[in-house]
Structure 1
Amino acid sequence: MFSKNTLADAIRKALLIGIPTLVLAACSGDDGKDGADGSDGANGSDGAAGVDGANGVDGADGKDGVDGSFGGSLTRLATVPLGAEVTGAYVTENGDLFFNVQHPDNSNTEADANGIVFDHGTVGVLKGVNINQLPQNLISVGVPQSDWEKQTVQVAYGEYQVIAQTTDTFGGAMAQGLGTVLAVDGTTVVRSIDDPDFNGFIPTSDTSGYLFTNWEAIPGGMSRLKLDKNTSTGEWSVDSSDVMMLDFGTYGTIANCFGSVTPWNTPLTSEEWGNFGDNTTDWNNPAASSGNRNSLARYTSPTAGSAADAAVFPNTYRYHYIVEITDPAGTATPVKHYAMGRFEHENAIVMPDQKTVYLSQDDTNGVFYKFVADTAGDLSAGTLYGAKLTQDVGSTEPQTTGFDIEWIELAHGNNTEIETWIAEYDDINLDDFVDGQSNYLTNADAEAWAAGSATYPTIANGGSTVTATKAMDDRIAFLESRKAARAKGATAEWRKFEGIYVNHKRAQEAVEGVDLIPNEEVNNAYVYFAIADLDNGMIDDAGDIQLSSRVKDCGGVYRMKLEANYDVNRIEPVVMGGTYRSSLSGALRCDVESLSQPDNVIVLDDGRIIIGEDGFQVNNALWIYNPKGNK
């Protein structure tokens, strides 16, 4: 039994033990309100960087795209005044674009912003713009509408700066005037020429150099002007203390047409028209046209009234060659390269190997030639070839029809030996002509040579009087190159095969793998050329070239891909003029928004080409064409 106090203590202990149980039992009721959020704890330290995952597998290379041939964009870069054609397009290393206004209408009276009237042949440059830095998406200058636009040079970019015009004397430094040809005596004026053609610039520093310009007539000429450029304004100036017309020596030169600059920086000038073509036998025929003979006679014999009374009758075999201007910044000495063949040269372009040269013949039924020099940088000796073409089977449309090339070797020669052959014809004159005979090489001579005959044919069998029955040699390949090429089977059907050109940097990068073009990988490079008229032998449904007459006299541009050793074996069309409209007259015959008889081409560093016109348009244009299309 418990005492009263003991019982009380026991009850008090029991109550204390039961309290937690009672409190926990109260949680089965509704939850109370949430308490306020506590403050955020401090950020923890960054964990260590994870390990990079493995690179994914490269996707398969896409297929190579097809080279652009027919797409592209044609933009009118400039127009020239009434009566003029665009000549002399040349781009310097610094992107200066020279071009000329050849034979503008002498009745032009409107002056440009600088007060220049374009009534004489004009040499100029596109000022204030680097042509190699033009955007890809270009604007065209408009087709001239007003008299002022029609009689001046209009450009889409920059400003056309006139450097000089025909008869300029540069303050008396060139007394007879620019474009004037003097006879062999150095004082008698034979001709003042209004036809500036090729330009080639030979730099002597970053801001100066010599501009060489062809003057196209019979006899022909070439000028050299020392130029300086103000880099702040872009303005060019002529150093009047250093201007000249070149001395072409005893026989002179004729019809200096287009040209080029070699990889070793010497100008090449081309002797084009003025001979009798295939009819050389008539050169000393008194009844034949005498204008060109008389002009040449007045050069070699300043007091002569005509070839008939000249002390030196012109020897036609002394003309129609490629002429190199050696030491261009010094004596500027012309050297005729007989080994490169005699024909109506438009121009020759030397490849970066300094040995391979492609040459165009600007005539009806002309030949495409290749010359390979024996020694790099020396054009005095080598082998001449003619191109035999095979047209794409079943294709006649000019815009899509190409040709394969087979090169036919004509002969190997050198300037010295060929000059001795040329000299054998120096004493021939009008008195030696006999009707039915020839004092010059004939088709019969060419055929005997091609057939491997040991001797030249007799006069009775069509041989010439100079070589009849003599031991056969290779002179015909170099004095009558077209006769020789045709006899060997080369294609002689081209019509007005004009300028031919390559960009040396692009060519070297594509062929040799040398990185020369910034920000562009050049895998393919091309030699371009212009055909002014797709006519005559090209559309006569005979021979190796049988194109349709759709384009005809509107003309077009072709290209040839460079292969190993700078060889070419394929011709493909690039851009053609629109459909020729023979029922219309004047400018309407060729679309004003397309080509009209392209004359010469220049290839820019980025692969775009510049094309000069000599066509039907009221105002001929200088075009820029992008074979790759706008990008």
Structure 2
Amino acid sequence: MNKVRYVAPLLSLAVLFPTATNVLAEPSKNIPVEKVEFIGMATPDTDDERSKMYSEASVKVTYKNGTQETLPLEYKSLFTPSDVINGKIAGATYDVYGKMITKADGTPYISSAPDSNTLLKVHGKLYMVNHFESLPKSEHGNMSETMMLNTVEQNKETGELTVTDMTPIDFSADGGIWVPCAGTLSPWNTHLGSEEYEPDARAHEANPEKSDVTAFARNYYQDPNKIGNPYQYGYVPEVSIDEKGQATAVKHYSMGRLSIENVKVAPDNRTVYFGDDGGYTMAFMYVADQAKDLSAGTLYAAKWIQTGEENGGSAKLEWIKLGHTTDAEIKVLAQNTKFSDIFDTTTDAEYAEANGFIRTKAAGRDEWLKVKPGMEKAAAFLESRRYGALQGATAEFNKMETVELNKADNKIYMTMSTISGGMTANPNDPTDDIRLPKINAGGIYEMNLAENQKDRDGNKINSKYVADEMTGLLFGEDLAVKDADGNKAHVDKIANPDNIVYSEKMRTLFIAEDSGNHVNNFGWAYNIDTKKLSRILSAADGGEVTGIQAIDNLNGFTYLMAASQNPGNVGYISGLPSLGNNGKDFKDNK
């Protein structure tokens, strides 16, 4: 997510699709659903519609007895940041002591950038973990961000959700939370978050006093002399909630350090795929040693071996093992290592070629690098993208966003918000593995998962869910000239997809836009069987749709959660039918 624009804090934190049980005709109440079909809404065409988050879409429900009905989807307000809930201010930021950070006049800093929303059920109670991705640097420099635990109540008759309390989640053991972006619910009922745009340790070491990570640390620790440590940030945070509703957070240092948009866990509860956001990024896979435990494992990076350029391109994927480690081992390294401890560098190409240096362009940094003897593990897990590039992995993906799983079809979906930069042919790139036609509006890829796969060195990968090929699925369409409303991409197709989530029961991929190519960003429903794309949500002008989560069944109700940044409104859309069987599909820690 590349836009941070400050506006008054009127934002959407959650778009929820509760069931239509309370609005269905009497004969349909207890009849199982066979399928759903989304009927899209028109684009906003009045100033009022352009300035708000709303839905005028509907859903046609086919029941297993053959009957059908069409149900309207309606957006309803829930809450906005800066609202006070049980004495807590939504969107506020906190220091290392858990104290709200305030301006000189005593008023709080309020984030206008909520992102991930993960609803969890723990011992029969509901909680929601949500991220506040950023605050405007113009006011304060680089401020610490916040991840919140919200207490949620569900109306047992209607499915309506209400937030009754919120508490900041404590990351003081790991230096705070850095740019928390998207997130997901793990198969074992914890929240897996993200730390996007990891700080550049080389730039920090060159001028630590002026680096963003030092500004962050001084705000977080409330210490004007504090010098930040970039190797504390860029990991997968995991939040678990106990029977008392207390949240515990850890960072998984063994999963590597990169610009994490989100992660997704395969059905074995061990294999994890990443979204690595930004320019010249990399596809990573992590295989944990044990199921439901991400504290130790093996990290791999992919090499794209292109097989075609049509429909967004296609490739075989070759996996390169970067290393194996534990959280504890890398956390110690993170606390005691500098960039210059890991790499030798030079700017002299002739000298570099004669002395074993390799040219890389990871994260867009054109560098000649060489790993110092004995520092391979530090390089692999503290500088995963740089090290991956040195090992031959492809560091040319552009705006790689969310990854999502389709269990029934054994596929991983991956968004590429913009297919440009390193993904287009460029003979000046160090490797130029990816050579595709430019699509500013971006698209979504699918990766097939296979077993009995080997890494580049011929060693078996200990997973049955290894992505072996990647092909285009769904793409936007750039316009040669803007349309009459100012859209630069086809308004009836996706533009710059960001967050995606998949509903197994609806066979539907939900897509959230973060686009400057559509005047209003939209939320979409894409049926992977019929290939029908339906616009189901419109955000306010300039507002990014974020933080979606699909829940097929929670106590007999179905939800799709989302968020909107700059601006928006906290709320939900009512209308979807019940898809479950008394809540058995939604996990509960008991």
- Residue number in structure 1 paired with 2:114: 196
What are the superposed Cα offsets for residues 471-525 of structure 1, whole Å, 9 maximum, x if unpaired? 444110000000111111111100010000114xxx2xx4xxxxxxxxxxxxx33
CA separation of 1:134/1:246 partners in 2, compared to 1, >3 Å: closer, same or farther? farther
Q: Contact 1:136–1:630 (CA<8 Å) still a contact in 2?
A: no
Which residue does 2:474 correspond to in 1?
575
1:538 CA displacement: 0.2
Aligned to 1:236: 161
CA contact (8 A) 2:342 2:378 kept: no
For residue 610 of structure 1, what is the aligned residue in structure 2?
510
1:532 & 1:202 partners in 2: Cα distance?
Answer: 28
237, 240, 260: which is aligned to 1:323?
Answer: 237
Match of 1:284 among 192, 196, 205: 205
Query: How big is the shift at 1:440?
Result: 5.5
Distance 1:594 1:417, change over 3 A: same
Taking structure 1 as reference, are residues 412 and 205 closer, same or farther at Cα in structure 2, changes over 3 Å only?
closer
Structure-2 residue corresponding to 1:407: 319
Aligned-partner Cα distance in 1 for 2:49–2:133: 26
Larger Rg: 1
Q: CA deviation at 1:238?
A: 2.0
> Offset at 1:165?
1.8
Q: Which stretches in structure 2 are left out of the alignment for 5+ residues?
A: 22-31, 59-72, 103-108, 135-142, 347-351, 358-366, 452-463, 533-590
Counterpart selection for 2:170 from 237, 242, 247: 247
Measured in 1, the distance between the counterparts of 2:119 and 2:486 equals 33
SS at match of 1:254: coil
The answer to whether the Cα contact below 8 Å between 1:104 and 1:120 also exists between their aligned partners in 2 is: no
CA contact (8 A) 2:301 2:393 kept: yes
Once residues 294 and 615 of structure 1 are traced to their aligned partners in structure 2, the CA distance between those partners, rounded to angstroms, is: 29
Q: Which residue of 1 aligns with 2:133?
A: 216
2-structure distance, mates of 1:557, 1:397: 14
Amino acid at match of 2:191: P
- For 2:528 and 2:96, locate their aligned partners in 1 and report how far apart those are by CA, in whole Å: 47
Look up the match of 2:214: 293
Deviations 1:118-172 (A, max 9, x none): 8335333234448x96954431111011122112222114322333321222141
2:543 is aligned to: none
Corresponding position of 2:399: 496
Structure 2 residue 488 is matched with structure 1 residue 597: no
Q: For residues 47-86 of structure 1, what are the structure 2 equivalents within 5 Å? A: none
Q: Which residue of 2 aligns with 1:389?
A: 304
Cα pair 2:7 2:112 within 8 Å, conserved? no
Alignment CA distance shift 1:473-1:406 (3 Å): closer
Question: Relative to 1, partners in 2 of residues 1:444 and 1:414: Cα closer, same or farther, differing over 3 Å?
Answer: farther
CA contact (8 A) 1:442 1:462 kept: no
Tell me which amino acid in the other structure corresponds to 1:397: E
The question of whether the paired residues in 2 share the 8 Å contact of 1:337 and 1:379 is answered with: yes
1:441 corresponding residue in structure 2: 342
Q: CA deviation at 1:442?
A: 3.1
**Cα RMSD between the aligned structures?**
3.3
C-alpha separation between the residues in 1 aligned to 2:114 and 2:523? 16
Query: Which stretch of structure 1 is more off in the superposition, 227-236 or 575-584?
Result: 575-584
8 Å CA contact 1:202, 1:328 repeated in 2: no
CA distance in structure 2 between the aligned counterparts of 1:443 and 1:584, rounded to whole angstroms: 51
Give the corresponding residue for 2:188.
Answer: 264
Report the CA distance between 1:583 and its aligned residue: 7.6
Q: 1:540 Cα deviation (Å)?
A: 2.9
Cα distance in 1 for partners of 2:110, 2:329 equals 35
Match of 2:83 among 168, 187, 192: 168
Q: Distance in 2 between matches of 1:328 and 1:589?
A: 48
Give distance in 1, aligned partners of 2:483 and 2:490.
Answer: 11
* Contact 2:92–2:100 (8 Å) recurs in 1: no
Q: Which residue identity is paired with 1:611?
A: I
**In the alignment, is the contact (CA less than 8 A) between 2:115 and 2:132 conserved in 1?**
yes
User: How many angstroms does 1:585 deviate by?
Assistant: 11
User: Which of 419, 424, 448 matches 2:331?
Assistant: 419
- Deviations along 1:299-336, whole A, 9 cap, x unmatched? 02x142xxxxx2x3110000010001123553311111
1:123 equivalent to 2:14? Answer: yes
For 1:334 and 1:576, the matched residues in 2 are separated by: 36
CA distance in 2, matches of 1:485, 1:129: 48
Letter in 2 for 1:545: I
CA contact (8 A) 1:122 1:162 kept: no
Flag structure 1 segments of 5+ consecutive residues without an equivalent: 1-84, 88-101, 108-117, 305-309, 429-437, 453-460, 511-523
CA contact (8 A) 1:612 1:621 kept: yes
- Matched residue of 1:476: which SS? helix
- 2:210 and 2:481 map into 1 onto residues whose CA distance is 30
Structure having the higher strand fraction is 2
Q: Does residue 227 of the first structure (1) align with residue 145 of the second (2)?
A: no
The residue that corresponds to 2:441 in the other structure is 554
Give the AA of the match of 2:275: S
Report Cα offsets for 1:171-226 as digits up to 9, x if no partner. 41x1xx122121113225064311111111111367x4111111102522111111
Superposed, which structure 2 residues align to 1:143-162 within 5 Å?
143-155=43-55, 156-157=57-58, 158-162=73-77
What whole-Å deviation, never above 9, does each CA across 1:571-620 have from its counterpart, x for those lacking one?
11111001353788994221111111000111111322000000021210
CA deviation profile, 1:392-449 (whole Å, cap 9, x unmatched): 1xx32334x2111111101001111111211214xx7xxxxxxxxx64533659x99x
Q: Is this contact kept in 1: 2:98–2:168, CA < 8 A?
A: no
- The residue type equivalent to 2:391 in the other structure is K
Q: What percent of counterpart residues are identical?
A: 28
- 8 Å contact 2:476–2:493 — kept in the other structure? yes
Q: Aligned pair 1:626/2:527, yes or no?
A: yes
Q: Aligned residue for 2:450? A: 563
SS of 1:537's equivalent in the other structure is helix
Q: Once the two structures are superposed, what CA deviation does each residue of 1:65-92 show, in whole Å capped at 9, x if it has no partner?
A: xxxxxxxxxxxxxxxxxxxx9x9xxxxx
State the distance in 2 between where 1:103 and 1:365 align.
20
SS of the equivalent of 1:192 reads coil
**Matches of 1:579 and 1:105 in 2, distance apart?**
27
- Given that 2:498 and 2:514 are in contact with CA atoms closer than 8 Å, whether structure 1 keeps it comes out as yes
Deviation at 1:348, TM superposition (A): 0.8
Q: Secondary structure at the match of 2:342?
A: coil
Give, as a single letter, the amino acid of the residue that structure 2 aligns with 1:212. Answer: V
SS at the partner of 2:333? Answer: helix
The residue matched to 1:281 in structure 2 has which SS?
helix
Q: 1:105 and 1:160 mapped to 2: Cα distance?
A: 24
CA distance in 2, matches of 1:216, 1:499: 15
Aligned length: 459
Contact 1:127 1:161 in 2 (8 A): no
Instruction: Name the SS for the 2:119 alignment partner.
Output: strand
2:422 alignment partner, one of 526, 530, 537: 537
Residue in 2 that maps onto 1:398: 311
In 2: Cα distance, 1:528 partner to 1:608 partner: 12
